[in-house]
Amino acid sequence: MADEDPTLTFQDLIAATYKEFNISHTIEKLRFGQKYPGGTYQLDGAKRIIQDGYGMYQYYVTIVPTRFSYLKGKVIDTNQYSVTEHMRHVNPGSARGLPGVFFFYEVSPLHVITQQVTNGWMRFFTGISAVVGGCFVVMSGIDAGVNDFMKKIGGGGGLGL
């Protein structure tokens, strides 16, 4: 058998493989622990359509340990996260990485402690009292100002508060 010339070189094979990559993706749900009230999850339902077959999509995730305490004593030890996204073009044969979707994790040394707060009747009545008191102070100030003005011009006095 005579020496045969390969029809594809190694570079051609890599380039053809890169063209087949599709890194479009959807993240249905991403959690690092149990769900808790008021938690926000940035990547839930995230859909990324990537037209570039030579793309490297990277997520840099910082995980923050969190303790959520209910008023009745139940405690949930879970995690929150923040994320930064980056899309990078990767040329075939450049030795700068492969196309794909990558997650890089870092656990924060800081902890977050949250506690459930109720909006009970006492808080409602305190808020109403603050509004009424504020209105009384403002109206008293207006009354004093009108009273002083009326005295200067020689008329009667104020709003009668």
Q: What is the pLDDT of residues 85-134, one digit of tens each?
A: 999 887 766 777 778 899 999 998 888 887 776 667 777 888 889 999 99
Please give the Cα distance from 31 to 48 (Å, whole number).
Answer: 19
Do residues 69 and 82 make contact, with C-beta atoms less than 8 angstroms apart?
no
Do residues 157 and 150 make contact, with C-beta atoms less than 8 angstroms apart?
yes
The stretch 49-66 carries a mean pLDDT of: 87
Write down the pLDDT at residue 130: 92
- pLDDT interval class at 1 (50, 70, 90): very low
- pLDDT interval class at 81 (50, 70, 90): very high
Rounded to the nearest angstrom, the gap between the alpha carbon of residue 124 and the centroid of all alpha carbons in its chain is 30
Please give the Cα distance from 39 to 25 (Å, whole number).
Answer: 24
- pLDDT interval class at 73 (50, 70, 90): confident
DSSP letter, residue 25: E
Do residues 48 and 100 make contact, with C-beta atoms less than 8 angstroms apart?
no
Please give the Cα distance from 40 to 22 (Å, whole number).
Answer: 29
- Asked if the model's pLDDT at residue 149 lies above 60, the reply is yes
Helix and strand totals (H; E) in the chain? 2, 6
The stretch 60-72 carries a mean pLDDT of: 89
Six-digit token string for 87? 């899309």
Six-digit token string for 72? 């009745």
The stretch 18-28 carries a mean pLDDT of: 82
Write down the pLDDT at residue 54: 78
CA angle, residues 139, 124, 142, in degrees to nearest 5: 5
The stretch 134-149 carries a mean pLDDT of: 90
DSSP labels, 136-155 = HHHHHHHHHHHHHHHHHHT-
- Asked if the model's pLDDT at residue 82 lies above 80, the reply is yes
The stretch 146-159 carries a mean pLDDT of: 75
